[in-house]
Amino acid sequence: MKHWFKSGSPWIWLTAGAVSLSVIMIVGLLGLIAVRGFSHFWPAPVAQIAIHDPRNQVEETLLGEIARSETVTATLAREAGHVVPENLSVVTRYLIKQGNREQVSSDFVWRFDLGMAPFTYPKGVYAIERRTWGDFYGFPVALQLEQQHWQATDADFAKALNDLLEQSHQRHQAITRIERQDIGKINSQMNALRLQQRQLELDGVKGRALLEAKQGIAQQEQALQAEYAELRTQLDQLYSEQEKAQLRMRMMNGKEVAIALADIVAITMPNDMTLGQKWAEYFKQVGGFLSKEPREANTEGGIFPAIFGTITMVFIMSIMVTPFGVLAAIYLREYAKQGVVTRLVRISVYNLAGVPSIVYGVFGLGFFIYFLGGNIDRIFYEAALPSPTFGTPGLFWASLTLALLTLPVVIVSTEEGLARIPSTIRQGSLALGATKSETLWRVVVPLATPGMMTGLILAIARAAGEVAPLMLVGVVKLAPTLPVDGEFPFVHLERKIMHLGFHIFDVGFQSPNVEAARPLVYATALTLVTLIVVLNITAISIRNRLREKYRNDSD
Amino acid sequence: MKVTSQLPSREVREKRRRIRSLKDNTSRFGITAAGYGVVFSLALIFVYLFYEVLPILKGAEITPVAQYDMALVTQEEPSAQVLIERYQELGVNFTQQGGIRFFHLDSGEERLHTQVSLAQADTVSSFAAAESLGGLVAYGSASGKVQLLRPDYQLSFPNDQRQITPGIVYPYGEQPIQLDPQGAAIQHLSVQESTRGRPAVFVAGYTEDQRWLLAKVSTRENLFTGRATQQIERSELPHFAVEPRFIRVDKAFRNLYVAEGSRLHYFDISQLRAPKLIQTVDVGEEITALEFLVGSVSLVVGTETGGLSQWFPVRDEQNAYQLEHIRSFKQHPGAITTIRPEYTRKGFLAGDSAGYVGVHYATSSRTLLLKQMAEQPIEKLAVSPVNKAVLTFSGEQVQYASLWNQHPQLSFKALWNRVWYEGRSDPEYIWQSSSGNDEFESKFSLIPLSVGTLKAAFFAMLFAMPLGIMAALYTAYFMTPKLRGVVKPTIEVIEALPTVILGFLAGLWLAPFMEHNLPAVFALLIGLPLLMVLMSFLWSCLPRSLKRLVPAGWEAVLLVPALVLFGWAAVASSPWVETWLFDGSMRQWLTNQGITYDQRNALVVGLAMGFAVIPTIYSIAEDAIFNVPKHLTQGSLALGATPWQTMVGVVLPTASPGIFSGIMIGFGRAVGETMIVLMATGNSPIVNFNIFEGMRTLSANIAVELPETAVGSSHFRILFLAALVLFAFTFVLNTIAEVVRQRLRKRYSSL
């Protein structure tokens, strides 16, 4: 025993334990996100839960998905007002997602397993994903289209439902297209006309010229109004068509509910699916998640705008940060006199990588948005004032702030790349009569490209995951339009964007229905983690390959 | 055969050389410019933050705009009150004889002259003004009546030019209110208007036959007819034989203050039918001015020697109110003649008999300016509702001046010391930046935020430091290279993990999990290290043949299943332990012990943020340990030291600067981290180190409040100050770390 202690072995094991613990936590964390994130898309079976608990006067049958279960002490259950038999010290409770939010008090309910019969999974249950009010679980009764009726027992019920649903989806798409694109375009043109008129007043155009210009504007406005009216009638017609078809569903408690087909996104029958069908449905869900827009205050639907916003922002940031970072690194390494000042500058630049990101956000808000943006508005967008164009958080300022934030990363990485190039190569080039710039651009920089790539990738990974500064400089919970679209000038630098990281914060912490949003947050987190881990692993492998390469060269 | 030169001609060569040299210079210039640009833009961050914070330090400034003699300010008709209208175009002078004169501020030219409407034979005997924001004033008459009126400004825009038309309105009817049913002249008067609920006015008066009258006038509008009916509730103070100098009643209709000589009497009139004297305090000097600050909670008392002090009622242990002296302000050279509170802040201006005007602020106890404006005593003062202009009356001389007084709330004392806020029983550290109404006293103490920041960082470091350093020791020194090649990048990748993900997991998964499994959490915190040591002992007891199966350097792998198993067991047994030891709920048990428990607390933050910091510490410490020259350790081992002795005696001392620098950088990261604390704490700005309560950090506070604050306001600048503090703090930490690391590198290369 004494010998064991003196050998230091307990301490070594303790340090070993620290490594194991760290790795377990990391694997556990990634595993947790992966399991929760991936399982979100799996078509979960719909359980029928019968509870017969005379002690608590609970007598009900529920239909829904089992979200999760937990074990609590009997004391807690008793404190919450439940009658628990004396001999039990712990009880299990289940969180049941019963959906049907507009029909019942709460779409997620906790139930103790006291008096709970084993779950059954009845065939023929419909799980309906709706555009509003969340999911619906129940049994089909009938389908109705004006005078036509199909009973659920009819042979052609499934086919009729499918066809009608398909038509309804097409109409829905048409409506979205008209509302978003066509009417959106008219709106932006009207707005442009309004600005034009205001600009005329600001320019001090007077007399005949003003009158003529105003007439021209009025004419264009009228044309737009007419166009709008036409679209409006189209829309009205589509909407009235949409309301005609209805699906009658029966809930577990026997109540019948009519659901407009227009309100249905998809119908699945999870209890009747084979494993193959389930996988097909799974991948369909994943695809939908990545490509669709969010619904219901971001708690349902997809995250496409967030992915798109993140990528656009990171892209613009890269365009700004790469040249500056690389040139600055070349300056520090190749041109600057290596003295005390350069050393101080270098340390400062390195240290900026450790400055809290929120500080950059504060700077971006104060300097970029209020100062630069405010002045840009005053000079170029006077007509639109007092509503700000660039004097408000937006894509460009978010990208610029992040460019500043990631500048040290790119500089450090590029410098490292430059430092690894053996000086013999430089000397060789110079000895052959090349000028300094020729040596630099033809020999040194191409060799250092992998270092720059590493820096850029690390910068992108950092930018993609950063949220705190973005909350101040341009990210919103719901952006009505994407920052890139078909309207001139195609990339709208002043628009606000959605962002994956902020989406997680917003949906997880500021959504009205946390329980419903939870799986979505995990799925979003999984997307973000995957993106960032892949980027980082790429950067690390490039760096390692680079190291190997120069180790051989310099030998 | 003549060999022709392959070289281009001389001219061409020269031209090419010129072009090359031009390119060289361009490139040099461009790169240098970019380098300077980057350095400049990074320096700009610091400069800009500083520039935004700087105005905080500035005091107030008064710049004279116009000076004129106004015929209407005469000895025969002295002014009772002067007010400035919110567009700073017009002023209004209420004279003690009942004249109301509107005039242009920059010229003194009269715009409108009217007289308060009273019954024909009646004359004005006293004047009172309610809080400036509402603008209500009252004239008491010789027949015991009170007339309530308000200056009123109609805005119109003929030809896009703003035009202000002044006038007088009688919001409680043109018929004066009979304050004294017996009809005695009112010598002193005080009036306040309620801003909450139904319109109501409180009037207190002192009559020439020494009676104290109280009246509450409320109006009720009939929903259907729209007709307003008036109700008057009257009461009288019990006999109280003093000759008052000032009477002041507050707008909550609870407190009445009477100043007489050097004494201040404090009455409780919340029971209108039974008013009672609570307290009489002696200020020590003759009181020459008495005014409420906005909100009518605090009284500012001015004395004959120029002293200024703030008083308000404070609730004691017995729930009774006592008038307390809160703070004094810088002394004026002459007797205080007039005090004017600001409209929406707890600041005030004071004028004295030596012609000085002082700009003071209550919360921060700052005197921002004390300036002589006239040779003669300042008789009346007015400040504009937006705090941008001042008007002074001294003799017949009127001065109109512009005022810069943007950030009086902030002072070193207000930010870092305990401050006695209105309505509190003691001086305290409070952060409460904004509220819905104008009377709110902003509470800008940075102590709760700084303590919160340090608390979060402390618990994070408590968790991350041992784990990170020990893991680094093992990986760098004991672990087999094969395993190290996997473990090191795994831990380092986590450094890039977005903290929003850690924050969300901490807030939505870890916090409820810990709340339900508290015993498991403590079992793990205490049990895991013991388990590791126990495993070591068990391993040493195993027969040699078994031990040989797993060579040294793989201990970490052996431990993984043991740790996982223990973790699972701890969680699974948690409810039973809770039932057995803590009566079924550890949380409740903690509460019974007097420990507050929040679901999102410092323990959650410590774990989550510690997790974020581990890779930082680990990575730097591991590099430092791994790069300790091999001949040192080999020498030590050759001399017969055990691996652990070598570690403690040789490796650690050599690498300790590197480990220190890792800790520094990790600490810097923990201090500035935003998303984790934002999501995993309740963000309540409290001052304590209880591990089961939350906190609010500087960074989270910025993220929460900056988007909502008005640009350029004091609150805005204080958030910039918070950012600057964070910036400077982490910058210094990182610089120390970097310098230490460079020294270490030099030392290694010389070893």
Its ipTM equals 0.89
**Residue in B closest to A364 by C-alpha:** B45
Query: Please, which residues 443-502 of chain B have a Cβ atom closer than 8 Å to chain A?
Result: 466-468, 470-471, 473-475, 478-479, 487, 489-494, 496-501
Residues lower than pLDDT 50 in chain A:
554-555
- Which residues, including other chains, have CB under 8 Å from residue B685's CB and lie 6 or more apart? B430, B431, B432, B448, B449, B452, B695, B696, B701
Whether chain B has a CB inside 8 Å of the CB on A341: the answer is: no
Q: A435–B501: do the CB atoms touch at under 8 Å?
A: no
Q: Which of B568, B575, B604, B751 is nearest to B680 (CA)?
A: B604
The strands making up B99-104's β-sheet, listed across from edge to edge, are B79-84, B90-95, B99-104, B110-115
In a domain, B622, yes or no: yes
Q: Above pLDDT 90, what percent of chain B? A: 27
* Chain B residues lying within 8 Å of A342, measured CB to CB: none
* Chain A residues lying within 8 Å of B42, measured CB to CB: 348-349, 352, 404, 407
d(CA A325, CA A353): 13
What's the mean per-residue pLDDT of chain B?
87
Buried/exposed B239-262: b ≥16 CB within 10 Å, e otherwise? ebeeebbbbbbbbebbbbbbbbee
Could you tell me the two tokens for B659? 């480990």
Q: Are B269 and B288 in contact (CB under 8 A)?
A: no
- Return the residue in A72, A345, A348, A351 with the most chain B beta carbons within 10 A, the one to mutate for interface testing: A351
pLDDT tens, residue by residue, B22-54: 999 999 999 999 889 888 888 898 899 999 999
Q: Which of A453, A516, A502 is nearest to A313 (CA)?
A: A502
pLDDT (mean) for B237-247:
84
d(CA B738, CA A348): 9
Residue A454's Cβ-side half-sphere holds a number of Cα atoms within 13 Å equal to 22
Whether chain B has a CB inside 8 Å of the CB on A96: the answer is: no
- Give the CATH number of the domain where residue B489 resides: 1.10.3720.10
Whether chain B has a CB inside 8 Å of the CB on A534: the answer is: no
* Chain A residues lying within 8 Å of B504, measured CB to CB: 504-505, 508-509, 521, 525
The strands making up B212-221's β-sheet, listed across from edge to edge, are B186-193, B200-207, B212-221, B228-236
SS3 A377: helix
Q: Are B154 and B141 in contact (CB under 8 A)?
A: no
Rounded to 5 degrees, what are φ and ψ at A58?
A: -105, 125
**Residue in A closest to B510 by C-alpha:** A29
* Chain B residues lying within 8 Å of A388, measured CB to CB: none
Comparing CB atoms, the residue among B37, B492, B496 nearest residue A461 is B496
Q: How far is A533 from chain B (nearest CA, A)?
A: 7
d(CA A301, CA A299): 7
Query: Please, which residues 90-129 of chain B have a Cβ atom closer than 8 Å to chain A?
Result: none
Q: B579–A89: do the CB atoms touch at under 8 Å?
A: yes
d(CA B474, CA B491): 13
Per-residue confidence (pLDDT) for residue A555, from 0 to 100: 43
A303: left (phi over 0), alpha (psi -120 to 50) or beta: alpha
Between these two residues, B239 and B44, which has the higher pLDDT value? Answer: B44
Q: Are B312 and B297 in contact (CB under 8 A)?
A: yes
* Chain B residues lying within 8 Å of A70, measured CB to CB: 516
Q: B575–A404: do the CB atoms touch at under 8 Å?
A: no
Neighbours of A310 (CB within 10 A): 26
Q: Which of A146, A122, A149, A124 is nearest to A61 (CA)?
A: A122
pLDDT tens, residue by residue, B264-293: 999 888 888 888 888 899 988 899 999 999
Could you tell me the two tokens for A534? 């892949």
SS3 B419: strand
Q: Count of residues for chain A?
A: 555
d(CA A425, CA A553): 10
- Residue B496, pLDDT above cutoff 90: no
In a domain, B399, yes or no: no
Could you tell me the two tokens for A391? 């004097």
Neighbours of A241 (CB within 10 A): 15
Could you tell me the two tokens for A308? 């798109």
d(CA B142, CA A224): 72
β-strands A300-301, B308-315 pairing:
unpaired
- Alpha helices (H) along B403-554: 412-416, 447-473, 481-493, 499-505, 511-516, 518-541, 544-549
Q: B504–A508: do the CB atoms touch at under 8 Å?
A: yes
Range of the domain at B680: 448-518+596-750
Q: Which of B525, B335, B487, B324 is nearest to B421 (CA)?
A: B324
Q: A356–B21: do the CB atoms touch at under 8 Å?
A: no
Q: Which of A139, A141, A137 is nearest to A64 (CA)?
A: A137
Between these two residues, A553 and B632, which has the higher pLDDT value? Answer: B632
B3 band by pLDDT with thresholds 50, 70 and 90: low
In a domain, B128, yes or no: no
Per-residue confidence (pLDDT) for residue A481, from 0 to 100: 79
Q: B533–A509: do the CB atoms touch at under 8 Å?
A: no
d(CA B261, CA B288): 9
Whether chain A has a CB inside 8 Å of the CB on B34: the answer is: yes
Comparing CB atoms, the residue among B38, B48, B503 nearest residue A367 is B48
Which residues face B188 on adjacent strands? B206
Whether chain A has a CB inside 8 Å of the CB on B679: the answer is: yes
In a domain, B665, yes or no: yes
In a domain, B311, yes or no: no
For chain B, helix (H) and strand (E) counts, in that order, are 17, 31
Q: B507–A509: do the CB atoms touch at under 8 Å?
A: yes
β-strands B366-372, B356-361 pairing:
antiparallel
In a domain, B488, yes or no: yes
Q: Which CATH number fits domain A307-499: 2.60.120.380, 1.10.1200.10, 1.10.3720.10, 3.30.70.1880?
A: 1.10.3720.10
Q: Which of B87, B105, B83, B65 is nearest to B161 (CA)?
A: B87
- Alpha helices (H) along A63-114: 74-79
Separation of first and last alpha carbons in chain B: 66
Distances (CA, A) of B28 to A322, A327, A407: 18, 10, 21
Burial category of B137 from C-beta neighbours within 10 Å (exposed 0-12, middle 13-18, buried 19 and up): buried
d(CA A427, CA B41): 33
Q: Count of residues for chain B?
A: 751
Q: Are B705 and B460 in contact (CB under 8 A)?
A: no
d(CA B214, CA B234): 6
* Chain B residues lying within 8 Å of A328, measured CB to CB: 34-35, 37-39
Q: Are A345 and B738 in contact (CB under 8 A)?
A: no
Whether chain B has a CB inside 8 Å of the CB on A88: the answer is: no
Q: A362–B579: do the CB atoms touch at under 8 Å?
A: no
B226 band by pLDDT with thresholds 50, 70 and 90: low
Q: B32–A345: do the CB atoms touch at under 8 Å?
A: no
d(CA B183, CA B143): 5
In a domain, B494, yes or no: yes
Q: B20–A438: do the CB atoms touch at under 8 Å?
A: yes
pLDDT tens, residue by residue, B502-512: 999 999 899 98
Per-residue confidence (pLDDT) for residue A71, from 0 to 100: 83
Q: Are A162 and A150 in contact (CB under 8 A)?
A: no
DSSP letter at A367 equals I
B10: left (phi over 0), alpha (psi -120 to 50) or beta: alpha
- Which residues, including other chains, have CB under 8 Å from residue B136's CB and lie 6 or more apart? B129, B130, B148, B149, B150, B171, B191, B193, B201
d(CA B194, CA B252): 7
Per-residue confidence (pLDDT) for residue B550, from 0 to 100: 80
- Residue B552, pLDDT above cutoff 80: no
The strands making up B347-352's β-sheet, listed across from edge to edge, are B336-341, B347-352, B356-361, B366-372
Whether chain A has a CB inside 8 Å of the CB on B26: the answer is: yes
Per-residue confidence (pLDDT) for residue B724, from 0 to 100: 92
Spacing of C-alpha A349 from chain mean position: 31
Q: How far is B384 from chain A (nearest CA, A)?
A: 26
Q: Are A140 and A247 in contact (CB under 8 A)?
A: yes
SS3 B363: coil
Element (H, E) at A84: none
Which residues face B301 on adjacent strands? B290, B309
Element (H, E) at A49: strand A47-53
Element (H, E) at A425: helix A423-431
- Residue B87, pLDDT above cutoff 80: yes
> How many contacts (CB atoms, under 8 Å) link A and B?
343
Q: Above pLDDT 70, what percent of chain B? A: 98
- Residue B742, pLDDT above cutoff 90: no
Comparing CB atoms, the residue among B533, B588, B665 nearest residue A354 is B665
Q: A505–B675: do the CB atoms touch at under 8 Å?
A: yes
Could you tell me the two tokens for B714? 């004091």
d(CA A448, CA A415): 9
* Chain A residues lying within 8 Å of B588, measured CB to CB: 79
Whether chain A has a CB inside 8 Å of the CB on B54: the answer is: no
Mean pLDDT is lowest, of A22-31, A221-230, B576-585, B618-627, for B576-585
Per-residue confidence (pLDDT) for residue A553, from 0 to 100: 54
β-strands A126-130, A264-268 pairing:
antiparallel
d(CA B453, CA B609): 12
Whether chain B has a CB inside 8 Å of the CB on A541: the answer is: no
* Chain A residues lying within 8 Å of B555, measured CB to CB: 12-13, 16
The interaxial angle of helices B481-493 and A9-39, nearest 10 deg, is 50
Per-residue confidence (pLDDT) for residue A544, from 0 to 100: 78
Query: Please, which residues 388-427 of chain A have a Cβ atom closer than 8 Å to chain B?
Result: 404, 407, 411
* Chain B residues lying within 8 Å of A26, measured CB to CB: 490-491, 494
Q: How far is B21 from chain A (nearest CA, A)?
A: 8
SS3 B73: coil
In a domain, B351, yes or no: no
pLDDT tens, residue by residue, B450-466: 999 999 999 999 999 99
Which residues face B419 on adjacent strands? B428
Whether chain A has a CB inside 8 Å of the CB on B680: the answer is: no
Q: How far is B402 from chain A (nearest CA, A)?
A: 26
Count of domains forming chain B: 1
Sign of the four-CA dihedral A442, A445, A448, A452? negative
